[in-house]
Structures are given as structure tokens and as C-alpha cells.
A and B are shown apart, each in its own frame.
Chain A
Amino acid sequence: MMEAMIEIQGLRKNYRGIRGLNEFSLRVERGDLVGLVGPNGAGKSTLIKILATLLPADSGSACVAGEDVAKTPAAVRAAVGYLPDVPGVYQDMRIAEFLEFFADAFRLKEPARGGAVARALAQAGLEERRDDFVEHLSLGWKQRLHLAKTLLHDPRVLLLDEPATGLDPLARIALREQLRQLHAAGVTILISSHILADLEDICTRIVFIADGKNVNEVQAAASAAGPAGALLHCEIEWEGAAEAAERVLAAIPGAAIIEKKGNWRRIELPGGAAQASSLLRGLLDAGVAVLHFDARGPGLEERYRRTFGGRP
């Protein structure tokens, strides 16, 4: 078994009588990139704040990089990089000064301090603007600067709370790319976001959370193909008359047509990969000229809708 970088057992947290977390448990292994998904008020930010040592838990335990967040918070802070949902910056500081201050706050000594600041400036793409005031940066650049500041002390674990909020598409793409690189470099990442497409794209695992509890877990990497026997969505397009294709579809047990446009259908197959391949074989045997056939598990958005669809 891989080393656990985040280990949470039965975590509880109440805010003035309102439950933030309710017996939440999670294990994140070294090198995982885990997405935390849930509706507003589900407990995502509370969980990340507890892991970042900003909030104490009422009960349960949480360890990050092998250190207990309640007992050895300084050791946890040394191992963790935390990016809040609305990252604040000192507008009246120069970009290099901002990074130097946090390098000092993480007790980096020369020459590591200078190296870390130079690396952060390069990562953020702000080398040319090191003497500009932070207030002159756009939101996307401020977010990049903040992420660079978060990485100054080479954290082994990154805790990102809605990092893409307010970013334009290009900044989101750049952020996604940067997270991919960090993941490839072995950094363990826990990221909460409402932008499901981004999570689906980069995460190795997705954890659903609602009312402070674990709801469901998805192996994001496996979701595209879908394991045998699991529910699949299948898109089919053919040329010619519809009768033969309709007959084959009607013969598949449990198959349901979700969407229909001319000679194009989206079908839900409860029998997974085996049923998808027998459908394709049936269509070909019936002489249907298949132009397009794509079978995959329902996306994260669909799973989210199924899990939280009834919630306000």
C-alpha cells in the first residue's frame, strides 16, 4: 500500500450549531490528485481549512504528511501549500517583495530563499514584472502569483479551495497545466471545485461530499471507459433507414433511448462494456451502416446530477 499523505478518520466540525463535517473520512495516497466535489455548504472548505490548520476539528483525526493537524500544526504547515477560495494579496507590495516576504515567513535562508523566489517568479511567468506593484496585476495573474507563493517552500501536499474561481478560460487552462506538472512531479493534491470538467480532466480520483459526509467516490481515470457491467452511455449514428437499427436497439435488454435526432441516438446501457459490444455486433449483423459508435461511462457531470440532483 502507498504512503498516505492525507489520512482523515471520522472528522466532525460544527459551526455555531450547524454541522460542517459529519464523520468524514478520506485517505489520499502519495502522488494522488483528488477532486473534492459537492454542493455549496457541503463541507469542502471546512475540510480544507482543517487540513491547513486554520480550523480545529471537534472530533476525529486528520494527518497530513504523517503529522497530526491538531498536535503538530507547525510541521503540517511546513509540508502543506494552501490556496484559499479568495486568495488575498498585498496590493501595495512589489511582486518580488511579496514572494520574499513569504519566503521569510517560511523561514527559507539564503541561498535557498533567493532560489525559491526566482523559481516562483519563473513559474508564475512574472520574471519581467518582478518590480511591478501587485495591484497592477489582473485576477488571473494574481492567482498565478498566489499559487507561486503557495509553492515557495516546496510543499509535499497542496490544498486548493476553488482555485479556478473567477479565472478566464486561458487562465484556467494554464492553471490546469500547472497542476498537471505538479502532479507529475509527485506533489499530492486535494482540490475542491465546482468546475467538473476541469476536475474530470486532471484528477485521479473524485470524492463526493454532501452534508459533511462521504457520499460517493469515483475513479476519474476509469470513468471514461467504464468498468464491465457498469452503466454506459452510447452514441450511435448510421446511414440509411432507421427500422433495422431500431429493431436491434429494442432487442437489447434494459437499453433506454435518452436522446434522438434523425439517425443519431444516445442510449443508456445498464450492461456495461459487454452489452455495448453486443449492440455493435447486432447492428453490423443487421446490415446497418454505422457511421459513429461511442460508448463511455456517464461523465462527472452526469454522476454529479445523479448524486445531488434532488438537492437544493
Chain B
Amino acid sequence: MSSRVLGFFRISNPMIRKELRQRLRERRAWLLPSLYLLVLSGTVAFCYYMVVQEGTQRGTELQGADIGQAIFYTVVFTQLAVLLLMAPVFSAGAITIEKEQRTLSGLLTSLLTAPQIWWGKFVSALLYLFLLLFSALPLLALSFAFGGVEPLALLKATGAMVLVLASISAVGLWCSATFRRSVHSTAAGYAIVLVLTIVTAVAFGILLAHWTHSLGGNHQDAPPVYVQAPLFLNPMYPFLSLLDDTDLRKFAYPASSYLLFTAMGLLAAAFAIRRLRRSGEQV
């Protein structure tokens, strides 16, 4: 590997240090993780209460594994929802802020390359999301105390979350490289997240209804690939296959989803770097 490529990825990239320093000086650097953990803790407590309440009402003996699984999946999906809401905030404003405070020309006329600038912004946006993600690991590990969840499930969920967040952050950076103002790029970032989560689910619903109708409304099989296809770009999809539920396990193409998210992230990165190289008119 050439020294140029190594230089691009090295952690000593001055952009990464600058970004992290600036980010950790903001008040939200400690406020957000505190709020985030508070929300997750509340959700776990609520989930535990609901599961125990339901078991008491049914009058059946409550298994520890049921509580463990309920806590695990609740934390995973709550984390995903909250981090999907936060990802555009950190990435979509990362380059526009340089345009707004008129500092982008200083970066572009230095010896930093456009990929180095992009990589610095990407790593710092992602590292902050990872800080939130990994700070919640003790809450996820709570489920091990009750049983019913394998460590492999935790690894899979964390891996899928990292991939989805990296891809969404790359898309946010592309918006940031394209627009001049943070408010526009953040709005565009949220619009894309909405399309990926809501529009793909609606499209899936329509295709599923059509397919069910064509079978006379009576089916036991998993929907075919073409019906599930819109969901491959839904950030929730890779997690559905993790669930220990017979109905939800029918969504069994996580690899297609991983590939699509990887491709989307790489494309967004390539377009963002290209846009960054040509952003002399915006400075």
C-alpha cells in the first residue's frame, strides 16, 4: 500500500484531531451522552416493568430469558432510532460549517487533500456516534444477566449498527459537501433518513398487500425477494433477521442489506470528495 493511501487513513490526520478537539469542547459533548443514557435507561426500566406486568397478568411463570430478550431488542431498536436521528446532525453540518465560517478555503489551499478532509470529518462524526453506541453496551449486557441472548447476537447487532451509521454519516457528509448552508444539508440528510425508513416500509407494505392478495390472502411462506427488496435499504431490516421470532425471521436477506448500505456509503463518499474538490466556488 502506498504511503499516500496510508497517510489518508492514519489516525494522526490533523483534521481528525481538530474535529475531535472542537467537538469535545462543545457543551453537547457531555450533555448528549448523558441524555442518551438517561433515555435508554428509562426505556429498559419501562420494558422490564411491561414484561413482568404482562407475565403477571397471564398468570404464567416468567422466564428470565424472556426478560433478557425483551431488554436486548428494546435497547437495540431504541438505540438505532435515536442514533439515526443524531447521525445527520453530526455529519450533515460538518462541511457546511466550514463554508459558513469561511474556513474551507484555508483547508483547500493547504496541503490537506480532499479525501483527507473528508476522512477527518467522517471519522470524527462516526467516533461520536460510536461513543454513544458503546456507552450503552453495559445496558445491552444487562440482558446477559437474565439469559436468552447469545453474545453473537450482541456482536451482530453492534456490527450492523456500525455499518448503518457509517453509511448514513457518509450520506450526511455528501449533503454537507453539496449544500452551502447547514440548515439545508441537515434537512436533506433527514429527508434521506425518512425515505430510507418510512418510504421503504410503505413500499414494502404495498408490495406485500399485492402479493398476499394474489395468493388469496392465505399464505404461510416468507415474502419473496422482490417484495422484501425495498426493505433492503431500510436501516431496521438487518436487525429483523436477528430477532428470535418466527414471523420476523422470514426477513432473511441481511447480506443484501449490508451490501446495499456499503455501496450507498461508498458512493456517497466518492461524490462528497468529488464535490469537495470543486467547492472553490462556495468559499
Give the residues in chain A near B280, CB-CB below 8 Å: 49, 53-56
Judged by a CB distance under 8 angstroms, whether A112 is at the interface is no
Are A105 and B101 in touch, CB under 8 angstroms? Answer: no
From A73-81, A215-223, A265-273, A279-287, give the one contacting chain B: A73-81
Contact between A91 and B101, CB atoms less than 8 A apart: yes
CB distance from B96 to the nearest CB of A (A): 13
**Chain B residues whose CB sits within 8 angstroms of the CB of A101 once the complex forms:** 14, 17-18
With a cutoff of 8 Å between Cβ atoms, the chain B residues found around residue A91 in the complex are: 101
A253-293 CB contacts (< 8 Å) to partner B: none
The A-contacting residues of B in range 14-38, CB under 8 angstroms, are 14, 17-18, 21-22, 25-26
Known contacts: A55-B281, A90-B22, A93-B21. The answer to whether A102 contacts B103 by CB under 8 A is no
Interface string of A86-98 (1 = CB under 8 A from B): 1111111100010
Q: How far is the CA of A285 from the CA of B23 in the complex (A)?
A: 80
- Which among A78, A88, A92 has the highest number of chain B CB atoms within 10 Å? A88
Tell me the count of chain A residues lying within 8 A, CB to CB, of chain B: 29
Chain B residues positioned under 8 Å from A80 (CB to CB): 109
Residues of A contacting B21 in the complex (Cβ-Cβ under 8 angstroms): 93, 97
* A104 CA / B19 CA spacing, docked (Å): 14
Partner of B107, one of A15, A52, A86, A105: A105
- The smallest beta-carbon distance between A137 and chain B, in angstroms, is 14
The answer to whether B112 and A54 have CB atoms under 8 Å apart is: no
Judge whether A87 and B102 touch: CB under 8 Å. Answer: yes
Residues of A within 8 A of B103 (CB): 88-90
Q: Is B281 in contact with A77, judged by CB distance below 8 angstroms?
A: no
Chain A residues in 8 Å Cβ range of B42: none
Assess whether B111 is in contact with A105, with CB atoms less than 8 Å apart. yes
| Size bracket, chain B contacts | 20 to 34
Other-chain residue from B17, B104, B105 in contact with A82 (beta carbon distance below 8 A): B105
CB of B283 closer than 8 Å to a CB of A: yes
Contact B101 A88 (CB under 8 A): yes
Interface: A183 (CB within 8 A)? no
Contact across chains for A88 and B14 when beta carbons are under 8 A apart:
no
The answer to the question of A149 belonging to the interface, with a C-beta cut-off of 8 Å to chain B, is yes
Known A88-B101, A89-B103; contact A77-B110, beta-carbon cutoff 8 A: yes
Question: Given the known A-B contacts A54-B283, A92-B25, A104-B14, are A84 and B102 also in contact in the complex, defined by CB atoms under 8 Å?
Answer: yes
Asked if B109 and A15 make an inter-chain contact with CB atoms under 8 angstroms apart, the answer reads: no
**Nearest A residue to B15, CB-CB:** A105
Q: Is B159 an interface residue (CB 8 A)?
A: no
Partner of A92, one of B22, B102, B113: B22
Residues B70-105 near A (CB distance < 8 A): 98, 101-105
- CB-CB under 8 A from B98, the residues of chain A are 88
Query: Cβ of B104: which chain A residues have Cβ within 8 Å of it?
Result: 88
A82 — which chain B residues lie within 8 A by C-beta? Answer: 105, 109
A88 cross-chain contacts in B, Cβ below 8 A? 98, 101-106
Instruction: Tell me if B110 and A106 are in contact (CB < 8 A).
Output: yes
**CB pair B111 A107 closer than 8 Å:** yes
The answer to whether residues A86 and B25 also contact, given A102-B110, A105-B112 and a CB cut-off of 8 A, is no
Give complex CA distance A111, B107 in Å: 23
7 closest Cβ pairs, A-B complex:
A88-B102, A54-B280, A104-B14, A105-B110, A88-B103, A55-B280, A82-B109
What 14 new A-B contacts, CB under 8 Å, besides A52-B109, A53-B108, A90-B103? A55-B281, A74-B111, A82-B105, A84-B102, A84-B106, A88-B98, A89-B103, A90-B22, A93-B21, A101-B14, A101-B17, A101-B18, A104-B17, A105-B110
